[in-house]
Amino acid sequence: ALSISAAVAQCAPKCRGKCSGRCRPAMSKCGAKCGAKCGAKCRAKCGPKCGAKCGAKCGAKCGAKSDAKAIKRPAGYSPAYKNDPKMIAAGEAVFKNTKLSTNGMSCATCHTGGASYKQTFAKPFPHYVEMAKNVYGLPSVHLDEAIQMCMEGPMAAKAFDWKSADLQNLASFVQSEQAKFAKR
Query: pLDDT for 30-71, tens place per residue?
Result: 334 444 344 444 444 443 333 444 444 444 344 456 889 989
- Length of the chain equals 184
Question: pLDDT digit of tens for each residue in the chain (184 aa)?
Answer: 333 333 333 333 333 333 333 333 333 333 344 443 444 444 444 433 334 444 444 443 444 568 899 899 999 999 999 999 999 999 999 999 999 999 999 999 999 888 889 999 999 999 999 999 999 999 999 999 999 999 999 999 999 999 999 999 999 999 999 999 998 8
- Asked if 132 and 152 touch (Cβ cutoff 8 Å), the reply is no
Residues 134-144 have pLDDT tens digits of 999 999 999 99
Cα–Cα distances in Å, from 86 out to 81, 138, 178? 11, 32, 17
pLDDT at 55: 43
Amino acid 64: pLDDT: 53
User: How many whole angstroms separate alpha carbon 137 and alpha carbon 110?
Assistant: 22
